[in-house]
Every structure is written in structure tokens, then in C-alpha cells.
Structure 1
Amino acid sequence: MASGSCITPKTASVFHPTVWGDFFINYEPKPLQRSEKWMRERSNQLREEVSQLFDAFEDMVEKMNLVDTLQRLGIDHLFEEKIETTLNIIHSAEFDSPSLHDVALRFRLLRQQGFWVSSDVFNKFKHRDGSFMIDITNDPKGLLSLYNAANLLTHNEETLEEAILFSRHWLELMKSSLKPRLAKQVSRALQIPLPRTLKRVEAISYMSEYNVHEQTYNPSILELAKVDFNLLQHIHQKELKVITQWWEDLSKDIGLDYIRDRIVECYFWSYSIYFEEEYTRARMILAKFFMLTSLLDDTYDTHATLEECRKLNVAIQSWDASDVSVLPDYLKKFFLKVMSNFMEFENELEPHTKHCNAYNRKMFQLLSGYYLQEAEWFHNNYVPSFEEQIKVSVMSAGIQALSVCILVGMGDIVTNEALEWAIGNNDAVRAGGEVARFMDDMAAFKNGRNKLDVASSVECYINEYNVTSEVALAKISSLVDDAWKTINQAHIDHRDMLPLVHRVTNLSRSMALLFLDKRDAYTYSKDFKGTMESHFVKHIPL
């Protein structure tokens, strides 16, 4: 392509078609094994039974195991106040256990909840020279707990860096000789450590592993997890029917045939942030926002000429329907639909939270500006420096915009302080952008990027420092690990708004899943269909 060219050949879609089509529009869920009324009554009954365990257990280790079990089965959202009270007690109480599993479990539970715990608690398992005792390798369950706990490290915590290397090495060696249940948990953790794993993903696996052979087994807890999963899945299926119909109507109206047709994947991304019943509105707004930003990204990346990109950005920045006249025909309907959808977002909010949608719109406008900058670089054959590239691309990854949108539909729980935190692109928000950008770029480098994409951070690093791709990928991977340290620190620094920090962190957890092993399960979603079916189609047998 000639330098400075304003002409890009119009492309048909470079992406595979949707793997879902109108599946959820026509989908008739299999009847629940019991009526919804029975399941809700049973859920309430079981919640009461499980709730009593918090008072029944006096031993600290029993309390910790109870909290861990509820979290791993994905039903901790039903006991938030009880768990917070219990972890406050655990944090303030003396604890001097010789068990590596117990020490590591306490460390992980408390750090996840924003309590500061020193890594010195692991010194009892180390020699005077700082190396870990080889004896602890005889305790694979404890070693796995150490590995998961150590992945909540913040910056400059060498003990936890060493713990990760030590435990990972030994777990890799022993995983093939472990009992099946523990071997599965080790394999999952070595792929994605538990603190970086989406709760809903862990719950599906753990429900099949939590049984009578588990020391902490309680049949009421397991039944509640299954009932709750199926009740929520029934709600998610109804939402998928609505949002798939929304997308079918929108895509027919605007007629853009070059984009990634990924509405179910967008919904999965939104669901990974919040799956609970009370967040239906927030989930739907976020899924639509995901899809609209994906449309915008694909327009800038794969189809529009540079002149069209500039005109589209002008229209988006002015946010005035009269500017539609400057756009080419194929973008006029798109622009007007974006505006009408943002108006619908606002209409769904309570009067005292409607002002939040202005932040949503501002984020969409900022994204447009970053997409345009990347288009300018591409069309002018310009390869930016590594620093220059990530300054723009970490923002174009969209995590700041999505972090704001996450909060918009959540209602009164969201404070102005929380909104300002997200808008300010500080700590966990910026670090989430780095996780998204660098994992995306490593996947693109492995799979071959779209020919109309700007040079990635991996390519810019190779170009600037004249290194091999292996060196560049190792560097980018280390930056992902650094970003996670910042995210972990944010849980401690912002404990006053921890529920919201957790939601924003779920964005990074979703990236860990969708870009696992340098795949891109959003763009190339065929191989991810089975995972989504386990969340949205298959019941958990009671």
C-alpha cells in the first residue's frame, strides 16, 4: 500500500461467520428438572441451612474451608455479609498452623478480600538461606495452595516470586502421578491460577469434584450450588434470546457484512463480569456496549478508508445526528444506531443515575479517537516506537471504556468516587488494559494478525530492540505478570470499594480465559463454543 494512501479496498468479512446464528432466538430450554417455583423455594431452604454453618463452625480452619468451598462453587454471592464478617474474624485472630495448605489458604482468602497479609507467613517453610524446604513437595495439596496464594503477589515480593517458581516446577513434575481430582485442579491452576480464574468457570469444574471424598463435603452446599446455577442459567437463556434478537434487528438494519458477528461472545464477556440475577440490566447494557465497540473497531481496522475513518470520528466526537450527512451511506445507519442505543441506555437508568451515561458516551468517543490514531499509523505505513504504540494500544484495548460501562448499570452501589476511579484510568483499570492489550497482541502474533491491523506491541518491540520473537514474547508476557501485581495491589488499596474493583478485575480474568495459550477465542470463537454451551445450554444434573 502506498504511503499516505487514503484508499483501502473494500473488504468482505475477514472473520468466520457466527457459530450461533439465531440459536438463542429459537431456543426452547429443556424444562428444569423441577419447577422454577420449587427450585426457588428449595434454594431458600438450602441457603438457610448453609448459613447456619458459619455459626456452627468454631474452628478457624473449618471457617476458612467453608468460605473457600462457597467461593469455588460460585455461591459466595449468596452469603456476602457472612463471608465478610468471617474473614474479618480470621484476619484479626492469631493463626499459627504448621500446615502449608492452611497457611496458604488463609493468605489467599484474605488477600482476595483486600486484607493485607505479609508474605512472611511462608518463612516457616523456608531454610535460612531463603530457599523453600524440599519436604513440602511431599504435600501436593499444600503446594497447589501455595501456588494459588502466591499468585496474589504485588510488586517487590520476592518470596512470592520464588514460591511461584518453586511450586510450579514441582507441580509440573508430579501432576501425572496425582489422584484424578487433584490432578485436574493442578492442571487448571497451571493454565490459569485460581485468583485469575472466573468464578463461574471454576464452579462448573468444582461441582463435579466436590463430593463425599472431600474432607469438607456437605450435601446441602453442593445441592445449593447446582440449584443456583440452573436458576441463574434459566435467566441467562432468556437474556440471550432478547439480546440475540436485538443484534439480528440491528445488523439487518445497518447491514455491515465485514464485522465480527459475535453477540453471544459479547454476552459471555458481560456475564463473566457479573452473572448474578440482580445485574440483568448492567449485563445487557455492557453486552451491547461490547458489541458496538467491536463494530467500531472492525470498521476502523478492516474496512473504512482513512478519509472515512476521519469523518466517522468527527461525527462521533460531535455526537450530533445532523453530522450524518458527511458520512458514506454504509456508515450513516451505524452512526444513528449507536446514538439511539446510547439513548436507550440512559432511558434504562433511574433519574438520579442517568448522568452516568454521559461517561459511557465519553468513553466511546475516546475509543474512536484511539482507533483513528491506529488507522492513521496503518495507512501511512508508520511503525511507532514500543512506548508510543502501547500508549495508544493499551487504551484502544477498551478496558477503561468497559470499566466505566461496567459501573453504569449497577445502580446505587456505584459511587462518584468509583466512577472517577474508573475514568481516571488508574492502577487496576490501566493494568487491566495492559493485560488485554498484551494478551491480544501475543495471540495475534501467534495466529497472524489481520493484514489491515497496525503493528502490534510484539512487532514494535522486535523492530525497536532488534530481538527475536521469543525474546519479545517473553518480555510482553512479563509485562502481563507485572500488570497482575498492580491489579492485586488495587484490591488492598481500594478495599472501600472492593465489590467494584472485583468486577473490573473480572475483565482481566476474562482475558486470561479468552486468550489462553495465545488463542483469540473472541475473533476465532469456533473452538470456544463448547465452553459457552457449558454455561448457557447444559443444565447441571441435580
Structure 2
Amino acid sequence: MSLSTCSRVPVAVVAVTLPQARPLRSVATNAFARASCGGGHRHKLRSVAALKTSSDDQNLVQQSADDNRDSIWSNDYIQSMESKYSGEANTEHINKLKEDARTMLKKAEDEPLINQLELIDLLERLGISYHFEDEIQKNLERISQAHSKPTHYKDLYATSLEFKLLRQHGYKVTSDVFKAFKDDKSGQFKASLGKDCKGLLNLYEASFLAVEGENILEEARSFSKKYLSKQKKDGTYLSLLVAHALELPLHWRMPRMEARWFIDLYQQCQYMNPALLHFAKLDFNIVQATHQQDLKFVSRWWMNTGLGKNLNFIRDKMIEHFLWTIGLMYEPQHGYFRRVVAQLVALITTIDDIYDTYGTLDQLQLFTDAIVRWDINEVDRLSDNYMKMSLFTLHNSVCEIAAKHFRDQEVNVLPFIKKAWIDLCEAYLVEAKWYNTGYVPTMQEYINNATISVAAPLTLCYAYVLLSNPLSKDMLNNFHQYSVISHCPSLITRLTNDLGTSLAKIRQVDVPKSIECYVHDNGCSEDEAREHVRGLIEATWKKMNKASLESPLTMPKKTFHRVAVNLARMSQFMYLHSDGHFFQDFTIYKNDMLSLLANPFEI
């Protein structure tokens, strides 16, 4: 049961006596690694968040742990997936639709600015803008040059849409353009704008592109949210867009899932473009077929490792692992990226479960030492066959990646990847030691360690290697320049997980997460701690927005930044409705999986 739904026991009032055995593996408590899926931080609580656990609750935890081990889809089901949109059958048709859309973009250059903005925005929301990156970039470059001329900032809708698009693409446009919509006397946004629903919606969405210190965008968000919340919920196209934005802003949403949702909604639009809708549906289905092939590959790989079959304490959830890769890079040309990262997430989850639910502290120390030394001969020092099997699989996977990159680019990435794995396992060991000593970390101690144990830094190291072409030794040595853009999604992933899993309907025996640590440090209420964590998430998004604006619009930097931002978006998606990994029969979660990977659009 969640801390917010159960009867809250006052801090430091009730002591919990735990059995000597390792605690039951619960679900989704360590963000990216544990997010994918579930589990993590199952450690002793001393004075913080002590909870009474009845026998019924213990049975519920046990049943949920048992149910949580297996994926919602078996390997047999995955291998049986078929799509009529795979192969070359639709190539000619999709190319024709693509050229028609390219012609629309070209013609729009001679049309009013709002037409250009709406077309670019539509292509992005339909999930087909990746076909036109060069054309869109040229259009936005031209628009950004005119942006400095504040002659056309009379329309809230156009101004907000332009600002949003330019900021999304890394242009350092000023938020001062919104001063034109403030009352000269009061200094507040004009009340008459409250009737402009489209303008308010785009103002609200634009406000989430803010960086630190942009007070006018904070005011814009409060103002627009106030009026949007009063809008009539009548099921119309615009009202559904408003409700969707208020639930979670577009800038924080997973692009692929957002495209799936928007294509469905766009059919209701009064001014719907049939050609673009058809293009979006067909493209979605073709890309979905590509994802199915990637999923089949990684599912076979996972079966061949034997880890899921032999290690009966780990989470055998390849479909959930693969879902993260779609959130990071869904475009069809990034199949190798998805296949490698899905393997990475599976290995992270396996090793996470070894630290969290299986190994003793002595065993975990030896396992960590073996990782640090990165010598396969160290396997002989391990007494446990499960750990040996995991170590062999990890070494094979990393060496295969290193060999490929040396063969293709003559760069040795092994030290770079090895260091990231060492950092992760050492962070896992810290948590194991906290468990064994019953230590309650401070909020800062928790954050310092959890932003590593969340496995986002390791994932971004992989992304940097996989997406950088050409790649050089100097680029690897200078990876520290990405410290901010790497840290921000790590922190967001960790904190969104903490908020999301705190809503789970299972009472967990757990090491304190950020909410409990903040309560312990400050003696405040749980609600106050939650509000503080939400504030940290918003502040971290602002830092990440700033880092994206400071990055030159060149490859591979631009691509890496996009993956980093998408990692944060993916965490927002996974924990929007509690923890999708936990409740396998959770309707929203299962429907999302089906719509993304199994069910094509009808055409």
C-alpha cells in the first residue's frame, strides 16, 4: 500500500522488526534500472516511514512479487508477431506521401507565419517530423531570424506556438515576447486573454520550456492554467487537448506514445488534413513493424542467455525493457541502438536484482570487486553460480560492443563502458550496506548515490557510444562536458520513480527514498516532502532546458541531448499512473503496450 493511501504511522513511533532473510522483491523502486522494471531499495527502515504490515499485506506483497516476475508477453507470443507493414511492400506508397508532405512544407514558406508554424507543429505531433529534419531546421532558422523583430507579437496563439517550437529546437529566443500580453498598469497578463483557449493552451505548453529565472514564464503558466482549468470538458478536440496538457505537458511526454495518442485525436479535428493523417497512420504502422523485429531479436537474445530461465529471483520482463528503448529513440533507422540498449536494461535489471534480493553482503562485495577488476578470471572467486552466469553474460555483452566499435571506428570504448558499469555496481553496493546497517541517508547522500544507481548515467554512456559516428578517443575523454545534461535526466528519473512508486498499492519494506529522506531531514509532513520533490523535478527540467539551449545545434551533440531529454520523458511516462511495471493487469499500461507494439492503425 502506498504511503499516501495507507494509514500513515507517525515517524519514529513504531519500530519494525524484520526477519533475517532478504526481503521480498517488490516492484519498481529504483527508477530506470529498477523501473525497468520494478524493484529496488528493498532495505530496512529504522525511524523513517515505519509501517505495520499485517499478514494479509504480507500475502499481497508475496503474490505481487510472484506475479511481477514474468513479462506480460511470452517469447513465443513475441516471435509469433506478424505485420503486413514490414518489408518493402509499402515503400513506394510511403515515399509518395513523404514527397507530398515535403511539398506542403515548401509551399508554406510563402504563406503567413502561423501556417508555417502549425504545419511544423502538426508534423511533430503526428510523429512524422523525423522525415523532414533538414527542411524543418531551415524553416525554423528563417523564423528565428525574424523573431527578433517584435512587430507581429499581437496574437497570443501565434507567439506562444512560435516560442515553443523555437525553444524545442534549441533556439535562444527571449521570453520577453510575452510582455506584450501584459497590462501596462497592473503588470499582470490581460484578463481578456482568458477567452483565447488556443492561445492559453500554447502559452501553457510554452511555459514548460522555461529556464531558471524566467519569472514571466512562471506567471504565464499560473495564468494559463487558471483559465484552462475552467474550460468546459465537452469531449471536443480542443477540450481533450487541454485536459491532456493539464495532465502532463507536451514537453514532458514520451514522443512515440504521444504520437499514437494524437493520431487518434486528430481524426476529430474539424480542419484535419486527410493526407497527413493517412501518412501518419501508415508511417506508424511501418515503424511499429520495425520495432517488432527489434523486439524479436532481443527476446531471442534474452532466451539464449538463460538468465531468465535459471535465475528465478530476477524480473524476466524483456518487453518492459524494450519499451524504454522506444522512448529513447523510436525512429526506424536506430534499430541497432534499440537492440543494444534493450540488452543493457535487461542486464541492469538482472544485476540490480542480485544486489537487492539475492546476494549476501559478502557475496556482493566479491561481485563488485570482480566488476571493478574487470577480469573474467575473477569469476573463480565467486561461490555462487548465478553471479558467475551474470558476470559471464555482462562481459560477453560489453566485449561484443567494444569489438564492433573497434572494428567499425578503430576506437576502444571498453574503458569508457567499463567505468560506467563500475560506478553503477559500486552505487548498488552502497545501498546494500545501508540495508545491512539500517542506515538512513540524508537527502543529499541519497541523491548523490541514487542518481547513479538509477542507471541513467550508464544508459547515457551507451547512448553516447552508439549514436556518435564518427567517434574518437578525444570525444570519450571529453564526455564530462555533458555532465549537466546527463545528471538532469538521472535526477528526474529517480524522483519521478519515488513519487510514482509511493502510490503503489503494496506496503513495502524499503530503504528511505527521497520523500522519506526529506521528512527525516526536515521533520516535515509527507505532503510537504512530496511538494518539495515535485519542485525539484520542475527545477531540474529548467536546468536541462538551459543545457539544451547552450548546446550547439550540431550532431552528435544534438542527438545525444535528445536522448537525454527523452530519458526524462520516459520516466514521466512510466510513473504518470503509479508504476506501470508493477501492475501487470493495469489497464492503461497494457493498452499502451498493445497500441505501441502490437496493434496497428486501421487504414
Q: Same fold (TM over 0.5)?
A: yes
1:52 maps to 103
Deviation at 1:525, TM superposition (A): 4.5
Query: Which residue of structure 2 aligns with residue 70 of structure 1?
Result: 123
Question: Is 2:29 the partner of 1:29?
Answer: no
1:42 and 2:93 aligned: yes
Alpha-carbon distance in structure 1 between the residues aligned to 2:573 and 2:378: 40
Superposition deviation, residue 133 in structure 1: 1.3
2:321 corresponding residue in structure 1? 266
- Tell me if 1:506 matches 2:566: yes
**Is 1:277 equivalent to 2:336 in the alignment?**
no
Aligned counterpart in structure 1 of residue 431 of structure 2, from 374, 381, 384: 374
Change over 3 Å in CA distance of 1:419–1:231 after alignment to 2:
farther
Residue 109 (str. 1) matches residue 165 (str. 2): yes
Residue 448 of structure 1 deviates from its aligned partner by: 6.9
Q: CA deviation at 1:402?
A: 0.9
Matched residue SS, 2:502: helix
CA distance in 1, matches of 2:409, 2:595: 38
Q: What is the deviation of 1:354? A: 4.6
Distance apart, 1:125 and its partner CA: 1.4
Distance 1:171 1:422, change over 3 A: farther
Structure 2 residue aligned with 1:143: 200
1:184 aligned partner: 240
Query: Higher relative CO (CA 8 A, sep ≥ 6), structure 1 or 2?
Result: 2
Larger mean CA deviation between 156-165 and 442-451 belongs to 442-451
Is 1:88 the counterpart of 2:141? The answer is yes
Is the Cα contact below 8 Å between 2:294 and 2:338 reproduced in 1? no
The alignment partner of 2:231 has SS state of helix
Describe the SS at the equivalent of 1:446.
coil
8 Å CA contact 1:140, 1:171 repeated in 2: yes
Contact 1:301 1:453 in 2 (8 A): no
- The answer to whether the Cα contact below 8 Å between 2:491 and 2:540 also exists between their aligned partners in 1 is yes
The one of 406, 410, 431 aligned to 2:463: 406
Matched with 1:520 is 579
1:538 matches 2:599: yes
Alignment of 1:298-377 (within 5 A): 298-327=353-382, 328-349=384-405, 350-352=407-409, 354-377=411-434
2:38 corresponding residue in structure 1: none
Please say if residues 150 and 161 of structure 1, whose CA atoms lie closer than 8 Å, have aligned partners that are also in contact: yes
Q: Hey, what's the Cα distance between the residues in 2 that align with 1:437 and 1:224?
A: 37
Distance 1:101 1:417 in 2: 45
Distance in 2, matches of 1:12 and 1:158, equals: 44
Q: Secondary structure at the match of 1:367?
A: helix
Residues 459 and 353 (structure 1 numbering): CA distance in 2 closer, same or farther, change over 3 Å? farther
1:227-257: CA deviation from partner (whole Å, max 9, x where unpaired): 2111111111111111112112224577111
1:242 counterpart = 2:293: no
Which amino acid is the alignment partner of residue 490 of structure 2?
G
What's the CA shift for 1:424?
5.4
| CA apart distance, 1:40 | 0.9
Find out whether 1:161 has 2:221 as its counterpart. no
* Residue-by-residue CA offset, 1:128-147 (whole Å, 9 max, x unaligned): 33311111111111111011
Q: Which runs of 5+ in 1 are unaligned?
A: none
Equivalent residues of 1:357, 1:408 under 8 A apart: no
Shift of 1:444: 3.0
Instruction: Give how far 1:347 is off.
Output: 3.6
**Shift of the alpha carbon at 1:203?**
1.1
Q: Percent identity of the aligned residues?
A: 27
Per the TM alignment, residue 48 of structure 1 is displaced from its structure 2 partner at its CA by 1.2
Deviations 1:279-336 (A, max 9, x none): 1111111111111111111211122111111111001111111111221222111111
- The answer to which of 440-449 and 305-314 deviates more is 440-449
Q: Which amino acid aligns with 1:502?
A: R
The CA deviation at 1:353 is 5.6
The CA RMSD measured in Å over matched residues stands at 2.5
8 Å Cα contact 2:308-2:316 kept in structure 1? no
Q: Which residue in the other structure is 1:297 paired with?
A: 352
Number of the residue aligned with 2:451: 394
Q: Deviations over 1:383-442 (max 9, x none)?
A: 011111111112211111111111222251667676556555622211111101111112
Match for 1:196 among 247, 252, 258? 252
Distance 1:487 1:416, change over 3 A: farther
CA distance in 2, matches of 1:160, 1:477: 18
Contact 1:302 1:452 in 2 (8 A): no
Return the letter of the residue paired with 2:88. Answer: K
Q: 1:421 to 1:90 in 2, by over 3 A?
A: farther
- For residues 451-505 of structure 1, the C-alpha deviation after alignment (integer angstroms, 9 at most, x for no partner) is 5642211111111111110011110110000010011111111133222211111
Distance 1:356 1:533 in 2: 36
2:295–2:339 CA contact under 8 A, matched in 1: no
Tell me the secondary structure at the aligned position of residue 79 of structure 1.
helix
Name the CA distance, whole Å, in 2 between partners of 1:300 and 1:449: 21
CA contact under 8 A between 1:272 and 1:510: conserved in structure 2? yes
Change in Cα spacing, 1:75 to 1:454, as seen in structure 2 (3 Å) is: same
User: 9, 19, 22: which one pairs with 2:72?
Assistant: 19
Instruction: Name the CA distance, whole Å, in 2 between partners of 1:71 and 1:191.
Output: 20
Shift of the alpha carbon at 1:162? 1.2
1:522 Cα offset (Å): 2.9
3-state secondary structure, aligned to 1:426? helix
SS at match of 1:37: coil
User: In structure 1, what is the Cα distance between the partners aligned to 2:207 and 2:328?
Assistant: 24
- Distance in 2 (CA, whole Å) between partners of 1:284 and 1:358 is 21
Aligned residue in 1 for 2:536: 479
Relative distance call for 1:419 and 1:535 in structure 2 (3 A) is: farther
More helix as a share of residues = 1
Q: 2:547 aligns with which of 476, 490, 493?
A: 490
> How far apart are the structure 2 equivalents of 1:109 and 1:377?
45
| 1:412–1:329 distance in 2 versus 1, CA, 3 Å | same
C-alpha contact (below 8 Å) 2:81/2:292 kept by paired residues: no
Is it true that 1:287 corresponds to 2:342 in the alignment? yes
Indicate if the aligned counterparts of 1:8 and 1:303 stay in contact, CA closer than 8 A.
Answer: no
Task: Answer yes or no: is the 8 Å Cα contact 1:254–1:333 preserved in 2.
Answer: no
What is the SS of the residue equivalent to 1:174?
coil
Q: 2:500 aligns with which of 437, 443, 454?
A: 443
Q: 1:63 to 1:253 in 2, by over 3 A?
A: closer
Where structure 2 has 5 or more consecutive residues not aligned to the other structure, the ranges are 1-14, 27-64
**Bigger Cα displacement from structure 2, 206-215 vs 96-105:** 206-215
SS in 2 for 1:176: coil
Runs (4+) of structure 1 exceeding 6 A deviation are 415-418
